[in-house]
Structure 1
Amino acid sequence: MRYLLVFFISANFVFASVFYAKLEPINSYKIKSNVSGKVIFSNESIEGKKANNSLIIELDSYVDRVDLKQTQNKLEAVNSMIEIESKNYERMKRVSSKSDFEKDNQKLKVINLQTTKADIKIKIANLKDSIKNKKLIEKNNYIYNINVKRDDYVTPGTLLYEAKDLSKGKLEIFVPIDDIEKIKSKDIYIDDKKSDIIVSKIYDVADSEHISSYKVELHLNNVKKFSRLVKVEFK
């Protein structure tokens, strides 16, 4: 008497050494905002297409840019003040009629100005980072979904858009723990055709849902069509 045991596990179906899995992009990304601001540009026309150094989302950075300019001017002024007060301190040190108290006060002026300079430089770095984070450009990923529109207001953590890396494909299958060593020495057939694909990654901890299996990843080059069901066989 024969017994046929079929495991329906998520998107994978296992029969002996045969598996079925959905072919997905190698990486998927959810791009969230690091800053708050009003959306002044949302490139909805690129949704469903590959980017080419494309501007996807831009937030209003006018106030940040004005603040940056004024803060840079303030830094120049503080640098001049440090130079003047430092010279005054050096001259004062050579004047015997000046008390130690007066000399220490002059030295404190220089130290306070240097502290102010350090704070200004930190503010400039933060403003530059904020301005940079308000203009999101994608080099060549596929833009799967844009989640915000022009005039929306976003805060840190708001999902802006989703992108996918189509440079390779990825298959995830769940192999019974007892069979892991066996598949390492076998050839991999994709849709009944022998391939030169090798196992890319084996997770050595049982999956939280498939508690008696390890997740195995296979990476495929030159994928023409994603999101299709693929037959994977080890033999």
Structure 2
Amino acid sequence: MRYLLVVLVFLSSSFAYEFYAKLEPINSYMVKSSVNGKVIYTNDKIEGYKANNSKIIEIDSYVDRIDLQQSNNKLKAINNMMKIEDKNYARLLKVSSKSGFEKDNQKLKVITFETTKADILVKIANLKDSIKNKKLVEKSNYIFNIAVKKGDYVNPGTLLYESKDLSKGKLEIFIPISDVEKVKDKTIYLNDEKTDLKIDKIYNVADSKHISSYKAEIIIKNPKTFSRLVKIEFK
């Protein structure tokens, strides 16, 4: 009886929890257009390589740039007109012979110009944002797929390209809820090799597909290859 108990304890302590997962980039991005316009440039040569402050896609912004220039000119004119109307209003206030009606009309002119200026400032901000969003530059991500070609017309929501952050890798596994506490402090082996890795994150809500499991993530720094199947053991 004692012998059987020792054997059971030994088996329990040496039991390994084994999983398999595909090593994926830490983050993947679906870059979609936020504007309307015609594609005037696609950097097809960067596809399949890491970007280095590289322009990936450019959408025609010619009309926006002209509109921005004219809006800035209009803003300067409005500012000058406001200065004149403000001076006129200040003079009217000092003239006792002027009626309250005349003074109120002059004040309304000043308010109208202030409202017009506010509208122009909003338009300028929108134009700047639109121009910025029509030239897409990637700092260092891997460009996985360019989904549009020069000459295509895109709308907000159109997929432009996909990119991936290859600085780290991520293994996602689904651990039975009853075993989560048991594996937290165990040593992680990848493809039978001992590591000093730990579980980076456990989502303490049952997965929608694996309804009796919690999703867990293991992060690997600077992996050499991606999309390979990895055996994960907790011993």
- Asked if TM exceeds 0.5, the reply is yes
The offset of 1:16, in angstroms, is: 5.7
> 2:169 corresponds to which letter in structure 1?
G
Q: Distance in 1 between matches of 2:196 and 2:154?
A: 46
2:38 alignment counterpart:
38
Q: Whose helix proportion is higher, 1 or 2?
A: 2
The offset of 1:193, in angstroms, is: 1.1
Equivalenced residue count is: 221
Cα 1:102/1:94, change in 2 over 3 Å: same
For structure 1, the 5+ residue unaligned runs are 1-14
The answer as to 2:168 corresponding to 1:168 is: yes
Deviation string 1:120-175 (CA, Å, 9 cap, x unpaired) is 00000000000000000000000000000000000000000000000000000011
> 2:201 corresponds to which letter in structure 1?
K
1:140 alignment counterpart:
140
1:117 alignment counterpart:
117
Q: Distance in 2 between matches of 1:222 and 1:129?
A: 35
The offset of 1:41, in angstroms, is: 0.1
- Partner SS state of residue 55, structure 1: strand
Q: CA RMSD in A?
A: 0.9
Deviation string 1:94-119 (CA, Å, 9 cap, x unpaired) is 00110000000001000000000000
| Matched ranges for 1:63-142 at <5 A | 63-142=63-142
The answer as to 2:227 corresponding to 1:227 is: yes
Q: Distance in 2 between matches of 1:185 and 1:125?
A: 52
Q: Distance in 2 between matches of 1:35 and 1:197?
A: 43
Deviates more, 1:75-84 or 1:183-192: 183-192
Q: Distance in 2 between matches of 1:100 and 1:225?
A: 80
Q: Distance in 1 between matches of 2:173 and 2:96?
A: 84
- Partner SS state of residue 206, structure 2: coil
- Partner SS state of residue 204, structure 2: coil
Q: Say whether the 8 Å CA contact 2:16–2:233 is kept in structure 1.
A: no
- Partner SS state of residue 199, structure 1: coil
2:12 alignment counterpart:
none
| Matched ranges for 1:163-202 at <5 A | 163-202=163-202
> 1:56 corresponds to which letter in structure 2?
I
Q: Distance in 1 between matches of 2:73 and 2:97?
A: 37
Runs of 4+ in 1 over 3 A off after TM superposition: none
The offset of 1:67, in angstroms, is: 0.2
2:29 alignment counterpart:
29
- Taking every aligned residue pair, what percent have the same amino acid on both sides? 71
Deviates more, 1:65-74 or 1:204-213: 204-213
Q: Distance in 2 between matches of 1:185 and 1:58?
A: 49
Q: Distance in 1 between matches of 2:177 and 2:16?
A: 13
Q: Say whether the 8 Å CA contact 2:166–2:222 is kept in structure 1.
A: no
1:5 alignment counterpart:
none
